[in-house]
Structure 1
Amino acid sequence: MHIEKNVCESLFNTLLMNKDKSKDTDKARRVLEKWNIRPELWLVDNGRGKLSKPYAKFSFTNTDKSLFCQFIRGVKLPDGFGSNFKHKVTENDTQITGMKSPDHHIMMQWLLPIGARAYLDKNISTPIIELCHFFKQLCARNLMSSDMQDTEEKLINILCSFEQIFPPSFFDVMIHLVMHLPEEAIQGGHVYMRWMYPFERYMPMLKNYVRNKARPKGSIAEGYVADEALTFCSRYLKGVPTRFNRPDRNEDAPIPTHEFYVFPSLCTPIDKGVDTKLDRELWAKLIWFILNNNSEIEDYKDEFTTLMSPGTNLQANFPNRFKQKINHLRANNESSISNELLALANGPRFANSYTACIVNGVRFVIESRDLRRTTQNSGISTTGHDGTKYYGVLEDILEFGYLNRCKVVLFRCKRYKTNNTKLCVIKNNITSISTQTKWFKNDQYILATQADQVFYLDEPSKAGQRVQSNRYWKVVQEVNHWKIWDQDIITETQETDIIHGSTSSDLSLSANLDSLTYDGLSRAGATNFNVSPEHVDLDDNAYEDVDDEDNDGDNEIDVTDDSEDDLLETNNECGVVTYHTDEDD
């Protein structure tokens, strides 16, 4: 977790040219000149006693940086997914500040790849996107050990590409530690079972215990003991809301056991339902949709198909014939007719409409209500029988009531046409769709349990490009809900995930980095800011390896001097570095 945060911080600040935290410093440019590499990035004397710093292609220009900050300002995340990034962008759209570890996690895996693809060259953005997808793959719900072994080899190419792009000062120990993460995942299991986010969320609670700033440790201990005492007492309170019996924010009601596929499609409404009157045509259409999605009554449909005359409309005639047959068998005390089958055959009695609900612990909100909120919970996706993904937004939530308290919940969706490569573009594992063309206008309903939640990000506009040209384009981002299951840590086979999870095999690193070239890394005709020569003078030992000639060929470094500072000495037996002072003598 902290490796991801530190890598994101280094990469993010370098892209945005943050003077305080960027790795592309003035001294780093002088190192390039000292090592005689990448002459296009050397500091240039402008003839007026100042040095000009050329723009690097691995950093955003001022215009692109402003557009990227505007893109981050418009990001709307699902409920409980992350903080509001709108408050982290400065008023002049030049910097993004105040990000904590969870914000860096979201920035690295969901937001930064989109900005890098839009505002950087392909040969520079591709390795960055691959590194971001590596962290996303590492945090997948179903972690495949074979994927981690393949990723470990691909990380070598990614970091080699980074070495051809960024200055040497970029590569600190945190960049090196990325190489060990796949092996650590194989040995230690899922990352989300080991990361420190729960403990970081607990730290502010401990800080709030401080009442006497002169004795912070004592205040924390006193507050912790009081909290533990109240927790112990609350376990014996009956009928009183406590932290142990209070439902979670998006907790769903337990789904009762049903023998039919459609009846478990339930939800927990958030708002008060409104009684909805549907016209006769739509009512009949929805009844057929519910019946047609029940594989348990296929025998009745096959029987009716064999008995009906040619040209008979199955959709129009089967519901009534099915109802008559089931009622007749139930009247004759047929034991095979259960209460659920009787309720399904007689059709729904009423329909209620909602604007928000919770399904499988996921909050869904219709689009008209979602537009007024700072979060985004209206995006949905469904998977067809052939594995095709369909994307859209939620427009209405209908709950149908049957006999014996059986219920069915349907979502009315507005789906976008994605069957054309011009309307759905998948590049670098990033899916962009056009929302201008609608699809399935006559087939808008799905079962609530068939919907997976996604959220959409505006496609960033490039400099000199009309905003209207990208107005209808959205970037699709999958939502992973962190719920703990009782299953193996490392799975070797893909399992069905009903809680919107992800599999590491779905996020494989597939970009070909060998074909990328890095001839020039400076932007022609662009300079950053003037630098005084005295601010870029380097020490002779800075970023410089030990020269054999300076050490008379004995490969030993003489660190002694005439001062009274501590002397450094190496133990030849175990290689342990020890310090000796005059007091020890």
Structure 2
Amino acid sequence: MVSPYLPRLKRLFSNEKEAKLHCWHSEERVTDGKLRHVADSPQWRNIDKKYPEFGKEMRNIRFGLSSDGINHFWNISSCHSTWPVLLCIYNLPPWLCMKRKYIMMSLLIQGPRQHGNDIDVYLSPLIDDLKTLWSLSVYVYDAYKKQHFQLQAMIFCTISNFPAYGNLSGYKKKGKKACPVCEDQTSSIWLTNSKKIIYMGHRRFLPKGHRFRKKTIEFDESIEIRTMRKRFDAFSRVASLNVVLGKRFRVDKNALWKRKTLSRCYAYRKNVCESLIYLLLEMKQKIKEVNVRKDMAEMGIREDLAPEQSANGVYLPPACYTTSNEEKLKFCQCLHDIKVPSTYSANIKRFVSMKDCKLFGMNSHDCHVVDVEDLDQWEKDVYVTLCELEMHFPPSFFDIIVHLISDIVREIKACGPVFLRYMYPFERYMGILKGYVRNRNRPEGSIVEGYTCEEVIEFCQGYMKDVESVGVPKTRHSGRFEGKGGVGCKINMPTYEVLQVARNACFSGLVINLKYPGKEKMWYINNHNKEFSSWLEKKVVETDVDETVKRLGRGPDCRVKSYQGYDIHGYTFYTKDQDKKSTMQNSGVTMIASTTEFDRRDHDTLIRIAKDSYYGVIHKIWELNYYDFVIPMFKCKWVNNRTGVQVNKDGFTLVNLSSNGYVSEPFVLAKHVT
């Protein structure tokens, strides 16, 4: 089933707001050398350089293409497979690229069976449209620029999980040469006992003089002299390939490419966290572990761990990755009890079974953290880490998914941030498509009908005021950026002294420009909080100033609103008491503040003004009411930086929250903390 996307592109450009968004990558994107968007990637620049006419027109579309099989019948039937072909638009801002509204279903390949090489037949209408957009272009009206122009488009990259990678690219993703990057130089071994192929030999990615290359006992009893595979052009591999569509057609047994690829594919790498947990918690049958140990003995790796046969059965000597029941319990208890800030990650507690000491149902996006800075060093660290895992973990751990991690940094360098090229948004959208099914006898027809109805509704909503879009849901912080109280609202009457301390915190950073003969600079700093509010109160009476300054000078209402939760600047904060009731941990705060240091002997001599990070826990959340406006304040218990904060050898900051410091300055403006 074909769902034409050309008319939809025309409808997007006919809306002024939507048309402006398609120019974001050229007009509003920050170009400071950092990698925030695929437009910051070398591949984007190379396309502009190779095809200058295409790159000159900023409205030309660059698509991301994704496809995978879905089963509409959930657990009722496991053999039905329908393949939606989805397109996302990379011209948009990064926070909109993967939103439901801007993901287009260009094709729906009907089930119930998978189509093998025949998938190219079903993709032909899409390819024909893309060729039209590339070579002939399409005449489109731009409501933002108030002009007609010739629109062109291209596929920037494809996105898929690894099994679907082979279907889209034509590469033979199984067997000894399963890695599409290493290709014919893939290092693989067949394990006779475990009955699987593993992919090791990661020392070849290291520099020639690296110490791991000469180690023998820790690896496979050999010195590594191989080097990393040089880059190659995948299109040259299939240029002379004669392809016959259909499942009965068989290519040469030794051929790595089954057919001509439609576009360069970049596979999404599933996180190896699940494999690590599976190994450490020994979530597999003992017979499999026995086979793993036998394979290690046959390979001459860590022979002291070989299984020992006795009258009582088979004894497996403990390995470095073997965990005791007590250690498993501690690990699962830590994950079960851990609390993280809102939106930091999924609620890990839901996946932990304390009864069995196991983890269930974790998805790749539940443990996906990627730092795109300092990529060169990160690439080296990935290679070293894989080698260190080879030194300690059993060979059966190194399946193709673990091996593919070696290429993830190069993909980021070439095509941009991972979050704009991973499979999770498309998997979530495919779940929405499955929800459209009402007639189980005609599931594809139900999907097309539901998709078309939503597209019509979205188009109409674009011309209505104050109507929320279906495909771009409002965030939980929408309308709360400047601050809005949440749970536990109460009215309190604090003492005058405490209210003054909170009021003085509003004037932090301001210095009284008055002269006191004989007073040192340090005296001015220390007496600022004591004198500024009273000075300002008198000054606003004597001087004609702005109404806001007058309100500040007169002071807040003696009645204070207190909350247990507060949203501001895209963050959610809780008090310590509210944290105890919640599955999240939102009471911790960090603030960067300036610190002034004077000479101990001469208090007029300023040694330095430094910016330091301060850490604390929120105990109270107040709103000071100045009648025309309110100022949110946090009362915190601050950690003494000298005794309660340290950085360990790995660069992590450790904070002892039981430490208590800076008691005289508990209040801070809510907008100053994160």
Q: SS at the partner of 1:181?
A: helix
CA distance in 2, matches of 1:245, 1:437: 44
Matches within 5 A, 1:161-176: 161-176=388-403
Structure 1 stretch displaced more, 364-373 or 226-235: 226-235
TM-score when scaled to structure 1? Answer: 0.60
Percentage identity across paired residues of the two chains? 28
Q: SS at the partner of 1:76?
A: coil
Give the one of 435, 445, 454 matched to 2:667. Answer: 445
Q: For residues 4 and 58 of structure 1, do their structure 2 counterparts lie closer, same or farther at Cα, with a shift above 3 Å needed?
A: farther
1:328 and 2:542 aligned: yes
Using the TM superposition, give the Cα deviation of residue 358 of structure 1 relative to its aligned residue in structure 2, in angstroms.
0.9
Q: For residues 441 and 24 of structure 1, do their structure 2 counterparts lie closer, same or farther at Cα, with a shift above 3 Å needed?
A: farther
Match of 1:157 in 2: 384
Using the TM superposition, give the Cα deviation of residue 427 of structure 1 relative to its aligned residue in structure 2, in angstroms.
4.3
Given that residues 501 and 665 in structure 2 are in contact (C-alpha distance below 8 angstroms), is that contact kept between their aligned partners in structure 1? no
Using the TM superposition, give the Cα deviation of residue 381 of structure 1 relative to its aligned residue in structure 2, in angstroms.
1.8
Match of 1:397 in 2: 621
Using the TM superposition, give the Cα deviation of residue 343 of structure 1 relative to its aligned residue in structure 2, in angstroms.
2.9
Given that residues 267 and 409 in structure 1 are in contact (C-alpha distance below 8 angstroms), is that contact kept between their aligned partners in structure 2? yes
CA distance in 2, matches of 1:190, 1:222: 34
TM-superposition CA deviations, 1:368-415 (whole Å, max 9, x none): 122112222222122343454333221111112336x23322111123
Using the TM superposition, give the Cα deviation of residue 14 of structure 1 relative to its aligned residue in structure 2, in angstroms.
0.9
Using the TM superposition, give the Cα deviation of residue 92 of structure 1 relative to its aligned residue in structure 2, in angstroms.
0.9
CA distance in 2, matches of 1:360, 1:287: 21
RCO comparison, higher one (Cα < 8 Å, 6+): 1
Q: SS at the partner of 2:439?
A: coil
Q: SS at the partner of 2:638?
A: strand
Give the one of 286, 309, 315 matched to 1:52. Answer: 315
Match of 1:276 in 2: 492
Q: For residues 59 and 4 of structure 1, do their structure 2 counterparts lie closer, same or farther at Cα, with a shift above 3 Å needed?
A: farther
CA distance in 2, matches of 1:82, 1:39: 40
Using the TM superposition, give the Cα deviation of residue 214 of structure 1 relative to its aligned residue in structure 2, in angstroms.
3.6
1:412 and 2:635 aligned: yes
Match of 2:532 in 1: 318
1:7 and 2:272 aligned: yes
1:345 and 2:568 aligned: no
Matches within 5 A, 1:506-585: none
Structure 1: which amino acid aligns with 2:339?
K
Structure 2: which amino acid aligns with 1:281?
E
1:433 and 2:649 aligned: no
Using the TM superposition, give the Cα deviation of residue 52 of structure 1 relative to its aligned residue in structure 2, in angstroms.
2.0
Structure 2: which amino acid aligns with 1:100?
N
Using the TM superposition, give the Cα deviation of residue 154 of structure 1 relative to its aligned residue in structure 2, in angstroms.
2.8
Using the TM superposition, give the Cα deviation of residue 25 of structure 1 relative to its aligned residue in structure 2, in angstroms.
3.2
TM-superposition CA deviations, 1:463-502 (whole Å, max 9, x none): xxxxxxxxxxxxxxxxxxxxxxxxxxxxxxxxxxxxxxxx
Given that residues 10 and 23 in structure 1 are in contact (C-alpha distance below 8 angstroms), is that contact kept between their aligned partners in structure 2? no
CA distance in 2, matches of 1:24, 1:164: 20
Q: For residues 449 and 85 of structure 1, do their structure 2 counterparts lie closer, same or farther at Cα, with a shift above 3 Å needed?
A: same
Using the TM superposition, give the Cα deviation of residue 359 of structure 1 relative to its aligned residue in structure 2, in angstroms.
0.9
Using the TM superposition, give the Cα deviation of residue 53 of structure 1 relative to its aligned residue in structure 2, in angstroms.
2.0
Match of 1:369 in 2: 578
CA distance in 1, matches of 2:554, 2:519: 21
Give the one of 41, 50, 73 matched to 2:305. Answer: 41
CA distance in 1, matches of 2:669, 2:646: 25
Given that residues 410 and 446 in structure 1 are in contact (C-alpha distance below 8 angstroms), is that contact kept between their aligned partners in structure 2? yes
CA distance in 2, matches of 1:380, 1:309: 33
Structure 1 stretch displaced more, 223-232 or 96-105: 223-232
TM-superposition CA deviations, 1:20-63 (whole Å, max 9, x none): 6x997332211221122211211111145x33222221132222
Match of 1:79 in 2: 342
Q: SS at the partner of 2:534?
A: helix
Q: For residues 57 and 308 of structure 1, do their structure 2 counterparts lie closer, same or farther at Cα, with a shift above 3 Å needed?
A: closer
Given that residues 305 and 314 in structure 1 are in contact (C-alpha distance below 8 angstroms), is that contact kept between their aligned partners in structure 2? no
Given that residues 253 and 268 in structure 1 are in contact (C-alpha distance below 8 angstroms), is that contact kept between their aligned partners in structure 2? yes
CA distance in 1, matches of 2:661, 2:591: 13
Q: For residues 307 and 72 of structure 1, do their structure 2 counterparts lie closer, same or farther at Cα, with a shift above 3 Å needed?
A: same
- Give unmatched runs, 5+ long, in structure 2: 1-159, 162-267, 595-609
Match of 1:504 in 2: none
Given that residues 149 and 183 in structure 1 are in contact (C-alpha distance below 8 angstroms), is that contact kept between their aligned partners in structure 2? no
Given that residues 424 and 431 in structure 1 are in contact (C-alpha distance below 8 angstroms), is that contact kept between their aligned partners in structure 2? yes
Q: For residues 180 and 353 of structure 1, do their structure 2 counterparts lie closer, same or farther at Cα, with a shift above 3 Å needed?
A: same
Q: For residues 57 and 236 of structure 1, do their structure 2 counterparts lie closer, same or farther at Cα, with a shift above 3 Å needed?
A: same
Give the one of 192, 207, 210 matched to 2:437. Answer: 210
Q: SS at the partner of 1:428?
A: coil
Using the TM superposition, give the Cα deviation of residue 273 of structure 1 relative to its aligned residue in structure 2, in angstroms.
4.1
Structure 1: which amino acid aligns with 2:283?
N
Structure 2: which amino acid aligns with 1:383?
I
Using the TM superposition, give the Cα deviation of residue 425 of structure 1 relative to its aligned residue in structure 2, in angstroms.
5.8
Match of 1:249 in 2: 476
Given that residues 44 and 53 in structure 1 are in contact (C-alpha distance below 8 angstroms), is that contact kept between their aligned partners in structure 2? yes
- Count of aligned pairs between the two proteins: 390
Using the TM superposition, give the Cα deviation of residue 13 of structure 1 relative to its aligned residue in structure 2, in angstroms.
0.8
RMSD: 3.2
Structure 2: which amino acid aligns with 1:269?
G
Match of 1:189 in 2: 416
Structure 1: which amino acid aligns with 2:587?
S
Q: For residues 206 and 401 of structure 1, do their structure 2 counterparts lie closer, same or farther at Cα, with a shift above 3 Å needed?
A: same
Matches within 5 A, 1:228-239: 228-238=455-465
Given that residues 23 and 167 in structure 1 are in contact (C-alpha distance below 8 angstroms), is that contact kept between their aligned partners in structure 2? no
Using the TM superposition, give the Cα deviation of residue 96 of structure 1 relative to its aligned residue in structure 2, in angstroms.
0.6
Q: SS at the partner of 1:200?
A: helix
Q: For residues 340 and 419 of structure 1, do their structure 2 counterparts lie closer, same or farther at Cα, with a shift above 3 Å needed?
A: same
Using the TM superposition, give the Cα deviation of residue 192 of structure 1 relative to its aligned residue in structure 2, in angstroms.
2.4
Match of 2:328 in 1: 65
Give the one of 357, 361, 370 matched to 1:94. Answer: 357
Q: For residues 193 and 93 of structure 1, do their structure 2 counterparts lie closer, same or farther at Cα, with a shift above 3 Å needed?
A: same
Q: SS at the partner of 2:621?
A: strand
Q: For residues 93 and 69 of structure 1, do their structure 2 counterparts lie closer, same or farther at Cα, with a shift above 3 Å needed?
A: farther
CA distance in 2, matches of 1:242, 1:234: 7
Using the TM superposition, give the Cα deviation of residue 69 of structure 1 relative to its aligned residue in structure 2, in angstroms.
1.2
Q: SS at the partner of 2:589?
A: strand
CA distance in 2, matches of 1:442, 1:24: 62
Structure 2: which amino acid aligns with 1:402?
Y
CA distance in 2, matches of 1:40, 1:245: 58
Q: For residues 89 and 179 of structure 1, do their structure 2 counterparts lie closer, same or farther at Cα, with a shift above 3 Å needed?
A: same
Using the TM superposition, give the Cα deviation of residue 97 of structure 1 relative to its aligned residue in structure 2, in angstroms.
0.5
Using the TM superposition, give the Cα deviation of residue 363 of structure 1 relative to its aligned residue in structure 2, in angstroms.
1.2
Structure 1: which amino acid aligns with 2:571?
V
Structure 2: which amino acid aligns with 1:250?
H
Given that residues 209 and 219 in structure 1 are in contact (C-alpha distance below 8 angstroms), is that contact kept between their aligned partners in structure 2? yes
Given that residues 412 and 444 in structure 1 are in contact (C-alpha distance below 8 angstroms), is that contact kept between their aligned partners in structure 2? yes
Q: SS at the partner of 2:341?
A: coil
- Give unmatched runs, 5+ long, in structure 1: 106-135, 255-265, 331-336, 453-585
Using the TM superposition, give the Cα deviation of residue 272 of structure 1 relative to its aligned residue in structure 2, in angstroms.
7.0
Match of 1:498 in 2: none
Structure 1 stretch displaced more, 73-82 or 161-170: 73-82
CA distance in 2, matches of 1:13, 1:309: 65
Given that residues 502 and 633 in structure 2 are in contact (C-alpha distance below 8 angstroms), is that contact kept between their aligned partners in structure 1? no
Q: For residues 282 and 177 of structure 1, do their structure 2 counterparts lie closer, same or farther at Cα, with a shift above 3 Å needed?
A: same
